[in-house]
Structure formats: structure tokens, C-alpha cells
Amino acid sequence: MILIAGVSIAAFIAALLISKKQKAQGDVILTAWMMIIAVQMLFYHAYITDIIFRYPAFLAWERPLPLLHGVLLYWYVATMTDQMPSSKFLLYLHFIPTLIFYLVLIPFFLRPVEEKIWVYRNEGAGYETLDTLRMGMIILSGTIYIIWSAILLSRHKRRILNRFSYEEKINLQWLRILTWGLGAVWLLIFVSDEVLSVGVTIFVFMIGFFGIRQSRIFKTTEINLEEPEKEKYAKSGLTKETAETLYAGLMRLMNEDAVYQKNDLSIYDLATRLDVHPNYLSQVINELEKKNFYDFVNQYRLNHFIKLISDTRNRHLTFLALAYESGFNSKSSFNRYFKKATGKTPSEYFSSEGLVN
């Protein structure tokens, strides 16, 4: 029942993704992944119920499929974080281990039906070394791609702090958790088939649930900002005079126009207003303010909030109402940044200041 549930969920998620009107590249990858998981679980169900032996031509066709899960996790993470390599040749190289394994299995595929059934009935007799090699490749592949994906997600978190003034819905925390969750599922192969089936089913449900809801994060073509800071800025071409002029324009937007009150403010918004490339603006903020874009904007929001709450005319308003007016877009983001900047929660801070909300 668990396997059938897993197959049904994976197939349902794939169908939902296929039916989406505006599919992103991540949706396509997730669809393919869900279909492969569904096929693999369906094969496993066929084995434990002996249905597969009615169709012996399909014996062993699923054996290399686990090698694709790490690859598709990496592809999905790379796509969602806008870090997919531009070279298609490099992308296709990830499929080489799976292709090699299928080539190695050709002699088995060509064996008489009775012999193939005998091998499976006798727990892979004659193919013990190959199966051990397969298991080692699966473990190694899973480990490499999970760690690689985690690195991409950590890099993504740093990137968005230099581009956006908020983290909600774009930090991909759910994908970070599920990436390590896939690592836990990998370990379940040493426990039992039943526990593994439960783990896979839960994983499929969770990544499908969040994956369908996740919208595209980066919608603007960008120049890579992940080079080391000194190297990146050394060749940026931004002169000191230009930087000072740009900084003056930035201060005008922040102090006079109060653009920080826009709760989904991004560096692209300001770059458009200043008619400059976002990379230059990021450089100015990093070098002259010694902050990333996220901290730069939210410090303005925090200062505005403290100014509002210190005004006795606003005593009838809640912390949250004033936080929203200052530009924060959620209670959690407000509390998180307030604690980061002051070391105290809003209640603790204003109680110590003699202000009560």
C-alpha cells in the first residue's frame, strides 16, 4: 500500500506540473524526477508481488535509475538558484554513470528469459560483484550530489542577500531541508525496504508540495556576482568619482524617497531608478556601507520603525502595524532582523527603553 501511495503521489504531482500553464525549467526537471521515482517504485512493487515475472523482458531495467536521483536533485537546485551551467555538454556528462551501467547490463538483457528469471529468483546469483558495484555507485553518487546541492543552496542564500531586501519565499529553506532529507532517505537503504518506502513516499510528497508552489526567483539576466570580492571589483570599471555619484543618488532614494518602505524592494528596483547596472550598485553598497543589500535596506526600515514607535501619536498601533509601514513584509522577518540588529526582541528592547506597545 505504501508503494502504491508513493507511485500515486509522484504521478499526481507530475500530472499537476505538466498541466501548469507557465512552466519554468525547474518544473520540467521536477516532472521528470517525479516520473522516474514513480517508475522505480512501480518496478519495486512489481518485484515484491512477483508481477514482474509475468513480464520478464523488463527485468533489471530499473537497476540504474537510482543513479539519476542525485543528478536530478542537483539539476533542480541549480535551476531554482540560477546556477545551472550554460554548457549543455557539461550537463549531459552527469548521465554517463547511468549510461555505462545500462551498457554493462546489455549481456543480461540478452539472456534467455528463463535464465533472467533464475538470476532474480536466486537473489542476483552470478551478478554479486556488479550489484555491489552498483550499490557503491549509488551511495557515492547520492553523497556527492547532495553535498554539491547543499553548497549551491548556501551560495544562493548569500546571493539573495546582495539582491533582495527580504528572504520569504526566495531563500529555498524548504529545499535545503529536503536536500538533507534525501540524504536521510539514502541511508534508509541500510535499514529495511519498508522504512525506505515510507521515506521515499514522504520525500516525494514534500518536494512535490513545495516545488509546485515555488515561483521563479531570478527573473533578471545577471552577471555572476560570486567571484571573490577583490577580484570582482578590481575589474568592474567603476571609478571612485562614479561610485561617489552613485552613492549620493542612492542616499537620495533612501532618505528622501524612502524607497525602503516598499516591502519587496530589490537591488534591481534601485538600479533601474538610478539607471545603473545592479552589479555597480551592489559594489557601492558593499564597499561604502560595508553591508550587503539586505542589511543595508533593513537597517533603514528598523530606524524608521524605531522613529515611528517613539512617536506618542503611534502608541495605539501594534509593533506589527508599524513594522509593515516601515517596509518589513512579515512578522517573522521583522522579529528576525530586529533581534539580529539589537540583540533583543522588540518587546525586550522597548521595555528596557521605557516604551510599551
CB neighbour list of residue 45: distance below 8 Å, 6 or more residues apart: 3, 4, 7, 51
pTM: 0.85
Q: Does residue 219 belong to any structural domain of this protein?
A: no
Q: How many domains does the chain have?
A: 2
pLDDT of 195 reads: 76
Which residue do the cell numbers 524548504 mark?
Answer: 174
Distance CA 129, CA 171 (A): 43
Indicate the residue among 153, 186, 213 that finishes a domain: 213
- pLDDT value for 199: 85
- pLDDT attached to residue 229: 46
Q: What is the pLDDT of residue 186?
A: 81
Q: Please, what is the angle between helix 128-161 and helix 293-310, to 10°? A: 50
Q: Residue 122 sits in which domain range?
A: 2-213
- Residues in CB range of 13: below 8 A, 6 or more apart: 30, 34, 204, 208, 211, 212
Q: Are residues 207 and 312 in the same domain?
A: no
Query: Does any domain span residue 336?
Result: yes
> Which CATH number covers residue 258?
1.10.10.60
Q: Are residues 157 and 296 in the same domain?
A: no
Output the pLDDT for position 310: 87
Q: Assess whether 174 and 278 both reside in one domain.
A: no
For residue 182, being part of any structural domain is answered with yes
Is the domain of 194 the same as that of 136? Answer: yes
Do 137 and 266 lie in a common domain?
no
pLDDT, position 3: 84
Measured distance CA(254)–CA(46) in Å, rounded = 63
As averages over each run of 10 residues, the pLDDT of the chain (357 residues) reads 87 92 90 94 91 92 93 95 89 93 95 93 88 90 95 94 91 93 83 75 90 76 45 63 94 96 95 94 94 96 93 88 94 92 84 61
In a domain, residue 48? The reply is yes
Residue 218, in any domain of the structure: no
Q: What's the burial of 34, exposed, middle or buried (CB within 10 Å: 0-12/13-18/19+)?
A: buried
Is 299 among the domain residues?
A: yes
Q: Which of these three, 165, 185, 213, is where a domain ends?
A: 213
Judge contact between 61 and 39, C-beta under 8 A: no
